């Protein structure tokens, strides 16, 4: 997906080409998928939880079904336990998918995603742009076929 800061409009979502097919290939390979997302726009008064959930539903309809969804509605200074780079959402997602965090791969576009993965004991792939997500999924698929990778 292309990042739309503080997006509360399901119609504003734009998906990178190939992401839907790549996610389907993961699911066909028996790999569970989930979404963990910081949504500080809620704390900042720029979005409501209902808007975030409407956007999440649209993503799930277009790219899902995802096995688990977690988002943090807090701001950076709220001192919550769930906001990335803390690992709580990743740990919660791993538990919901009945996976050990060490078996999880977090694909993200921010250093906080990478740090949260590290803190959770998961692997991470940092992508520079939405097109990198498809490449990351392809690498993940090839590494599940060949354990030496």
Mean pLDDT of the region 108-130? 90
Percentage of residues in the chain having pLDDT higher than 70: 95
- Torsion angle of the four alpha carbons 93, 40, 129, 124, in this order, in degrees rounded to the nearest 10: -30
Query: 80, 92 in Cβ contact below 8 A?
Result: no
Q: How confident is the model at residue 149 (pLDDT cuts 50, 70, 90)?
A: very low
Q: How many CA atoms are closer than 13 Å to the CA of 68, on its beta-carbon side?
A: 18
pLDDT band at 148 (very low <50, low <70, confident <90, very high): very low
Give percent of the chain with pLDDT exceeding 90. 72
Q: Kindly tell me if the per-residue pLDDT of 8 is higher than 90.
A: yes
Give residues with Cβ within 8 angstroms of 97, minimum separation 6. 32, 34, 67, 68, 104
Domain locations in the chain as residue ranges: 13-144
Supply φ then ψ for residue 134, to 5 degrees: -65, -45
CATH number attached to the domain at 13-144: 3.40.50.1000
Do you find a cis peptide bond into 65, omega within 30 degrees of 0? yes
Q: Which single residue is written with the structure tokens 């509360």? A: 8
Q: What backbone torsions phi and psi does residue 9 show, to the nearest 5 degrees? A: -115, 110
CA 59 centroid distance within chain: 11
More confidently predicted of 142 and 29:
29
Residue among 73, 63, 1, 77 at smallest CA distance from 37: 73
SS3 label, residue 96: helix
Q: What pLDDT is stored for residue 147 in this prediction?
A: 44
pTM of the predicted model, to two decimals? 0.86
* Mean per-residue pLDDT, 15-40: 92
- As given in the structure block, the two tokens for residue 76 are 């950076």
In the block, residue with structure tokens 């950076």 = 76
Is the pLDDT assigned to residue 94 strictly greater than 60?
yes
Question: According to the model, what pLDDT value does residue 41 have?
Answer: 97
**Tokens standing for residue 56:** 């999440």
pLDDT digits (tens, 9 = 90+) for 42-84: 999 999 999 999 999 999 999 989 999 999 999 999 999 999 9
């Amino acid at each position: 997906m292309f990042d739309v800061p503080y997006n509360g409009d399901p119609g504003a979502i734009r998906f990178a080409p190939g992401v839907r097919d790549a996610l389907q290939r993961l699911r066909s390979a028996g790999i569970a998928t989930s979404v963990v997302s910081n949504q500080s726009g809620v704390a900042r008064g720029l979005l409501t939880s209902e808007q975030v959930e409407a956007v999440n539903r649209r993503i799930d309809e277009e790219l899902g079904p995802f096995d688990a969804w977690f988002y943090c509605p807090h701001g950076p200074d709220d001192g919550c336990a769930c906001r990335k780079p803390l690992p709580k959402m990743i740990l919660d997602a791993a538990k919901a998918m009945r996976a050990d965090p060490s078996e999880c791969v977090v694909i993200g576009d921010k250093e906080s995603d990478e740090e949260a993965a590290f803190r959770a004991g998961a692997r991470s792939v940092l992508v520079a742009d939405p097109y990198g997500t498809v490449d990351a999924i392809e690498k993940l698929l090839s590494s599940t076929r060949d354990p030496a990778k």
